[in-house]
């Protein structure tokens, strides 16, 4: 009896622990205080960092990892080698890293590191600093790290650096010793090979002393006018609840501000170059419209400033800021701003792990920024994401597709990465509107923001929101469409006439299941929409407002064909699977039947 009782207790206890591990969300916290002293002529700086680390995990931590991203810009680095061995290198990188001279390379060299005043031992391994702790950080405890370091800003190769091709002096991204994230999947001390970040939420207090003729723009709120400090100017920024800090500096920046919606100040920093000034002025009201669009369709931007800064090497999203190249045609300047600004939601506020789930930040951003561009630029496209569907279909039909579980750095080619992350990720979201209905999709996006803002959501977290909003089972959609290399292919197999009846047979050719919308046109000019629910969804998407449709019986996935009868006495002239073309069918030639 006693044994029995103990076993029951043990089972109960164990069961409780397991349940907690599966359902309790936690995230680590960092608070950075940094003082930076820049030698602008040499392209070097000295830094001190006080980092308060709070361990909210259920685990005792015996070591920590910092990213030293600038070390990627050295001959022989993983970024250099990868760029020279991948089949389709990014032309911005190519073999340029291998040719950097000692005064052009980037580096971050820690000089000292302490934990609560005790000296720590550490090892620099490429772009990662491995640190053994003096004492473990127990669950719920905080510890303070102090680091001093020397750094050299690389010549602009990728994202960061000195003297980009448009003449911006300093693009300072991923520029400081940055604590790696530790979450429910453990440490994410990814080496910097090509792309994508995953960082710890926290508060930043950063003072940058720089030669006095530079203007600095970046993350956070500038605390009063810059103060004179030993022949330099010290710029003090504070950024609450962010997971990154970025800045850029140039002697020729024009700095404009524009009052955006909801009390947000939009800052624009761009070169005093007569060729670009007009476009950068015209960009300002459009940026305000974009911000309104994203506020309305995702959720309200919670900070009070956003900076669009000329810098970098294309466009890249950062905390409360973006760095974009600025010498562009107007449409392209708006397009890149729309994309990078949309990342403030899909990457920044909804901080998915970009290395593991690259399709969530790039795909969702592509989806919403295309819709925003369609509206603010009055493009009047019926499907603003049609280009993403074409890109995805090309990849699927090329046979080179891979499951989207692939790490962002480890695709066979940059092209496969690009199409999977941007195009397929966009299609995933756009097509979800086909699966659960457009209104449910809109509500899902807003609810996802409400539930996961300032956190690290996963693909499962997103699909669970969609399930709860729609009342439909959607695990198959995430699993089969994103996590396998299967594809969607449905066909009209046969239209037969039996007396006065017409019988239509559809066929599932691809492995990925889908509910089916099908429109049938009759010879008398009338038409009828049919909806065939997918049995494993355990429900039906609601009809679009004003849509008349007939709901047929479920299609259970294992059956390769599905047959239904249309209105008696009417003769079929045309059958179309998914006239909306929101279902990413990889072979749409067999989606139609027409009577000659």
Residue with tokens 């995953």: 198
Strands (E), 4-93: 29-39, 44-54, 61-67
Q: Nearer to Zn ion by C-beta: 91 or 224?
A: 91
How would you class 275 by CB atoms within 10 Å of its CB: exposed for 0-12, middle for 13-18, buried for 19 or more? Answer: exposed
Q: Nearer to Zn ion by C-beta: 127 or 365?
A: 365
Contact residues for 558 (Cβ-Cβ < 8 A; gap 6+): none
Determine the 3-state secondary structure of 518 from DSSP. strand
Q: Nearer to Zn ion by C-beta: 74 or 219?
A: 219
Min. distance of Cβ 346 from Zn ion in angstroms?
9
Backbone angles phi, psi at 92, to 5 degrees: -70, -25
Q: Nearer to Zn ion by C-beta: 115 or 365?
A: 365
Buried b (16+ CB within 10 A) or exposed e, 385-397: beebbebbbebbe
Q: Nearer to Zn ion by C-beta: 313 or 362?
A: 362
Q: What is the Cα–Cα distance from 24 to 239, expressed in whole angstroms? A: 27
Strand 321-324 and strand 490-498: pairing?
unpaired
Q: Nearer to Zn ion by C-beta: 190 or 489?
A: 190
Number of residues located near Zn ion, criterion CB under 5 A: 1
Within positions 125 to 184, which residues make up the interface with Zn ion, using CB under 5 A? none
Q: What is the Cα–Cα distance from 499 to 117, expressed in whole angstroms? A: 91
Min. distance of Cβ 341 from Zn ion in angstroms?
10
Min. distance of Cβ 342 from Zn ion in angstroms?
8
Is residue 222 within 8 A of residue 237, CB to CB? The reply is yes
Q: Nearer to Zn ion by C-beta: 80 or 196?
A: 196
User: 340-369 mask for Zn ion (x: CB under 5 A)?
Assistant: ----------------------x-------
Q: What is the Cα–Cα distance from 221 to 239, expressed in whole angstroms? A: 6
The helix (H) or strand (E) run that includes residue 167 is none
Min. distance of Cβ 339 from Zn ion in angstroms?
6
User: 460-479 mask for Zn ion (x: CB under 5 A)?
Assistant: --------------------
Strand 265-271 and strand 305-310: pairing?
parallel
Residue with tokens 């939009």: 266
Min. distance of Cβ 78 from Zn ion in angstroms?
22
Strands (E), 319-462: 321-324
Q: How far is CA 28 from the centre of its chain?
A: 20
Q: What is the Cα–Cα distance from 247 to 170, expressed in whole angstroms? A: 8
Nearest CA-CA partner of 66 in 153, 190, 161, 165: 190
Residue sitting closest to Zn ion (CB) = 362
Backbone angles phi, psi at 186, to 5 degrees: 90, -160
Contact residues for 332 (Cβ-Cβ < 8 A; gap 6+): none
Min. distance of Cβ 397 from Zn ion in angstroms?
25
Min. distance of Cβ 361 from Zn ion in angstroms?
7
Q: Nearer to Zn ion by C-beta: 315 or 533?
A: 315
Q: Nearer to Zn ion by C-beta: 362 or 467?
A: 362
Q: What is the Cα–Cα distance from 435 to 365, expressed in whole angstroms? A: 20
Q: Nearer to Zn ion by C-beta: 362 or 480?
A: 362
How would you class 21 by CB atoms within 10 Å of its CB: exposed for 0-12, middle for 13-18, buried for 19 or more? Answer: exposed
Min. distance of Cβ 423 from Zn ion in angstroms?
12
Strand partners, 498: 501
Beta-carbon-side half-sphere exposure of residue 288 (alpha carbons within 13 Å): 16
User: 362-401 mask for Zn ion (x: CB under 5 A)?
Assistant: x---------------------------------------
The helix (H) or strand (E) run that includes residue 260 is none
CB atoms within 10 A of CB 361: 27
Min. distance of Cβ 93 from Zn ion in angstroms?
17
Q: Nearer to Zn ion by C-beta: 315 or 510?
A: 315
Contact residues for 418 (Cβ-Cβ < 8 A; gap 6+): none
Min. distance of Cβ 520 from Zn ion in angstroms?
41
Strand partners, 162: 155, 170
Q: What is the Cα–Cα distance from 386 to 407, expressed in whole angstroms? A: 26
Min. distance of Cβ 10 from Zn ion in angstroms?
49
Min. distance of Cβ 340 from Zn ion in angstroms?
7
Dihedral angle computed from the Cα positions of residues 373, 374, 379 and 382, in that order, rounded to the nearest 10 degrees:
150
Q: Nearer to Zn ion by C-beta: 122 or 197?
A: 197
Is residue 572 within 8 A of residue 502, CB to CB? The reply is yes
Q: Nearer to Zn ion by C-beta: 362 or 517?
A: 362
Q: Nearer to Zn ion by C-beta: 359 or 562?
A: 359
Q: Which residues of the shown chain bind Zn ion in the complex (CB under 5 A)?
A: 362
């Amino acid at each position: 009896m006693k044994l029995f009782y103990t076993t029951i207790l043990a089972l109960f206890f164990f069961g409780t622990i397991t349940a907690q591990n599966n359902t309790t969300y936690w995230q680590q916290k960092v608070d950075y205080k940094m003082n930076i002293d820049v030698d602008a002529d040499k392209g070097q700086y000295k830094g001190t960092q006080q980092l308060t680390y709070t361990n909210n995990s259920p685990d005792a931590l015996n070591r920590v990892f910092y990213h030293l991203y600038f070390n990627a810009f050295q001959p022989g680095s993983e970024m250099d080698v990868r760029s020279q061995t991948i089949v389709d290198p990014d032309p911005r990188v190519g073999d340029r890293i291998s040719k950097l001279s000692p005064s052009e390379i980037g580096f971050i060299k820690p000089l000292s590191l302490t934990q609560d005043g005790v000296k720590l031992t550490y090892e620099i391994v490429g772009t990662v600093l491995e640190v053994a702790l003096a004492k473990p950080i127990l669950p719920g405890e905080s510890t303070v790290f102090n680091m001093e370091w020397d750094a050299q800003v690389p010549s602009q190769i990728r994202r960061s650096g000195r003297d980009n091709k448009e003449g911006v002096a300093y693009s300072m991204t991923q520029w400081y010793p940055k604590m790696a994230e530790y979450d429910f999947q453990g440490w994410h001390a990814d080496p910097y090979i090509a792309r994508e970040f995953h960082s710890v939420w926290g508060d930043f207090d950063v003072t940058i002393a720089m030669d006095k003729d530079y203007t600095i723009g970046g993350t956070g709120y500038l605390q009063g006018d810059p103060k004179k400090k030993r022949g330099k100017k010290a710029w003090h920024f504070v950024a609450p609840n962010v997971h990154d800090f970025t800045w850029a500096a140039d002697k020729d920046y024009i700095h404009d501000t524009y009052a955006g919606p909801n009390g947000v100040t939009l800052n624009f920093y761009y070169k005093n170059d007569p060729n670009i000034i007009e476009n950068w002025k015209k960009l300002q009201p459009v940026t305000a419209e974009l911000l309104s669009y994203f506020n309305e369709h995702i959720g309200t931007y919670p900070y009070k400033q956003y900076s669009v800064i000329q810098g970098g090497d294309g466009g890249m999203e950062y905390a409360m800021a973006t760095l974009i190249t600025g010498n562009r045609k107007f449409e392209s300047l708006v397009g890149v701003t729309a994309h990078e600004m949309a990342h403030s939601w899909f990457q920044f506020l909804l901080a998915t792990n970009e290395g593991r789930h690259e399709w969530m930040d790039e795909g969702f951003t592509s989806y919403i920024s295309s819709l925003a561009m369609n509206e603010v630029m009055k493009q009047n496209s019926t499907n603003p994401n049609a280009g993403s569907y074409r890109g995805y279909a090309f990849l699927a039909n090329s046979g080179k597709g891979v499951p989207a579980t692939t790490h962002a750095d480890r695709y066979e080619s940059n092209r496969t990465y690009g199409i999977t992350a941007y195009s397929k990720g966009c299609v995933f979201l756009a097509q979800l509107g086909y699966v659960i209905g457009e209104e449910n999709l809109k509500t899902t996006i807003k609810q996802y923001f409400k539930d996961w803002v300032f956190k690290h959501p996963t693909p499962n977290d997103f699909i669970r929101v969609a399930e709860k909003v729609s009342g439909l089972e959607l695990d198959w959609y995430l699993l089969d469409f994103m996590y396998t290399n299967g594809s969607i292919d449905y066909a009209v197999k046969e239209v037969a006439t039996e007396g006065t009846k017409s019988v239509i047979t559809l066929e599932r050719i691809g492995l990925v299941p889908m509910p089916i919308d099908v429109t049938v046109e009759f010879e008398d000019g009338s038409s009828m929409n049919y909806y065939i629910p997918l049995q494993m969804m355990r429900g039906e998407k609601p009809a679009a407002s004003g849509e008349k449709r007939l709901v047929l019986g479920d299609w259970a996935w294992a059956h390769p064909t599905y047959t239904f009868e249309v209105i008696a006495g009417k003769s079929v002239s045309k059958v179309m699977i998914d006239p909306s073309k929101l279902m990413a069918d990889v072979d749409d030639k067999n989606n139609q039947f027409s009577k000659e």
